[in-house]
């Protein structure tokens, strides 16, 4: 994915620098500058212990349209109380002073270790180089700078025709662990050169994150720092309105889906990308409950890592998903197109060697038909490997 073309977005400039926030000699600070008349939409974590930059970003966005995004890796500035809020304000002020704008025009974002003080003084020293380095080609370097335990930078970019004009949508994100966002991923930034009214931009973002960032899970943990931002610079030739908004939503959703898929594929230590489809549920929530129960089962996830077609673990997960008045004889389960469960038990035609062939794949689908209604959902997850434990056990060392 990191080799795919990345299209610059008119009206959006980026720069990255090494500020020494946690690790020496690597980029860990990013500034994204948007054109003066840009609109901006965002969604944030639902974690009650949301990080200081999340609190401040919400406040600033409610006050005025931003001109700059300030993003650091290496330190989450979460669980840091009033001192963390003050540090976040200081980092915003350092950029605002250097750029000659009001502090409210800066939105801060952080990712990294929770519970450690943010060294705000290191931001100010990096500001001159960051502002001097701003350019439209900075997407790939920025994607690398916001990484923590990610193994690859994550970018997605599209150019499409809408109403006879070219629209560019480009995005970056980071995330590979502590992923069950409930709104977006840990950090994602998507921009377009189209002109989009504020309300329509927010509605587009909320509709785009639901089947993408809100439908993935690596480990079931919702971060304190999740945020997803959609910027419309208005520097292109196309104006988005109600008549062409469906086409715009389609391309934004496509970019978000590609980024979300990349997060799961890069799940800490992951070796398999798994799509879980639950259909014929009585309600959407019921479908989601079943899908996430399968996805979060340590026994299912470790069987996936071992390429073990132990379908009983999937069956057991479905059974404990909390469905009322469940008729198990109506349940059907497949691995890809291979039927493994019918009428609540092992399919008479199922053979272990066929199941083994599917489980040996690096990408596969678990499909469950509940036989209860018309609702369905799809989520993406991954396996649970030795490396996941090792990465997270050694995260602070």
Return the active site residues.
185
Rounded-to-integer distance, Cα 365 and Cα 274, Å: 6
Instruction: List the one residue out of 290, 326, 3 whose CA is nearest residue 140.
Output: 3
Beta strand 273-281 with 363-369: parallel, antiparallel or unpaired? parallel
- Match 């020496």 to its residue by tokens: 24
Q: How far apart are the first and last CA of the chain?
A: 29
Q: What angle do CA 211, 212, 213 make, to 5 degrees?
A: 120
Binning the chain into helix, strand and coil, the percentages to the nearest 5 are 35, 25, 40
CA dihedral sign of residues 216, 254, 71, 60 = negative
Length of the chain: 397
CB 201 within 8 A of CB 364: no
Residues contacting residue 376 through CB under 8 Å, at least 6 positions apart: 277, 278, 279, 280, 281, 287
Residue 190 region, left (φ>0) first, then alpha (ψ -120 to 50), else beta? beta
Any idea what DSSP says for residue 329? Answer: G
Q: What are the backbone dihedrals phi and psi of residue 314, each rounded to the nearest 5 degrees, phi first?
A: -65, -45
Rounded-to-integer distance, Cα 323 and Cα 329, Å: 14
Instruction: List the one residue out of 334, 355, 384, 362 whose CA is nearest residue 273.
Output: 362
Exposure string of 137-151, with b = 16+ CB inside 10 Å and e = fewer, is: ebbebbbbbbbbbbe
Q: What are the backbone dihedrals phi and psi of residue 352, each rounded to the nearest 5 degrees, phi first?
A: -55, -40
CB 321 within 8 A of CB 289: yes
Residues contacting residue 322 through CB under 8 Å, at least 6 positions apart: 289, 293
């Amino acid at each position: 994915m990191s080799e795919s073309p990345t299209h610059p977005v008119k009206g959006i400039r980026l720069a990255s620098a090494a500020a020494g926030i946690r690790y020496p000699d690597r980029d860990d600070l990013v500034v994204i500058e948007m054109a003066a008349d840009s609109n901006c939409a965002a969604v944030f974590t639902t974690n009650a212990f949301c990080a200081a930059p999340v609190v401040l970003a919400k406040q600033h966005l409610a006050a005025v349209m931003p001109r700059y995004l300030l993003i650091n890796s290496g330190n989450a500035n979460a669980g840091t109380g009033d001192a963390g809020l003050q540090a976040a304000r200081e980092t915003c002020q350092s950029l605002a002073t250097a750029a000659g704008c009001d502090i409210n025009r800066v939105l801060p974002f952080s990712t990294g270790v929770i519970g450690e003080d943010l060294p705000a003084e290191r931001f100010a020293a990096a500001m001159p180089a960051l502002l001097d380095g701003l350019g439209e080609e900075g997407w790939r370097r920025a994607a690398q700078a916001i990484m923590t335990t990610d193994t690859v930078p994550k970018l997605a970019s599209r150019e499409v025709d809408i109403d006879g004009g070219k629209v560019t949508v480009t995005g970056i994100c980071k995330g590979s662990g502590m992923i069950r966002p409930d709104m977006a991923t840990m950090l994602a930034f998507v921009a377009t050169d189209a002109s989009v009214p504020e309300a329509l931009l927010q509605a587009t973002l909320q509709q785009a994150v639901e089947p993408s960032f809100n439908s993935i899970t690596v480990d079931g943990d919702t971060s304190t720092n999740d945020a997803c931002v959609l910027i419309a610079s208005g520097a292109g030739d196309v104006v988005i309105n109600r008549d062409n908004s469906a086409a715009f939503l389609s391309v934004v959703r496509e970019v978000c889906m590609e980024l979300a898929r990349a997060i799961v594929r890069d799940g800490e230590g992951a070796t398999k990308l798994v799509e879980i489809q639950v259909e014929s549920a009585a309600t959407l929530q019921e479908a989601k409950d079943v899908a996430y129960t399968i996805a979060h089962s340590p026994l299912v996830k470790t069987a996936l890592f071992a390429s073990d077609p132990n379908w009983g673990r999937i069956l057991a997960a479905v059974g404990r998903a909390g469905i009322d008045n469940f008729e198990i004889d109506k349940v059907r389960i497949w691995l890809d197109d291979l039927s493994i469960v019918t009428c609540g038990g092992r399919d008479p035609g199922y053979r272990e060697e066929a199941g083994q062939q599917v489980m040996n794949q690096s990408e596969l689908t678990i499909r469950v038909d509940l036989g209860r209604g018309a609702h369905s959902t799809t989520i993406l997850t991954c396996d649970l490997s030795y490396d996941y434990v090792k990465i997270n056990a050694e995260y602070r060392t």
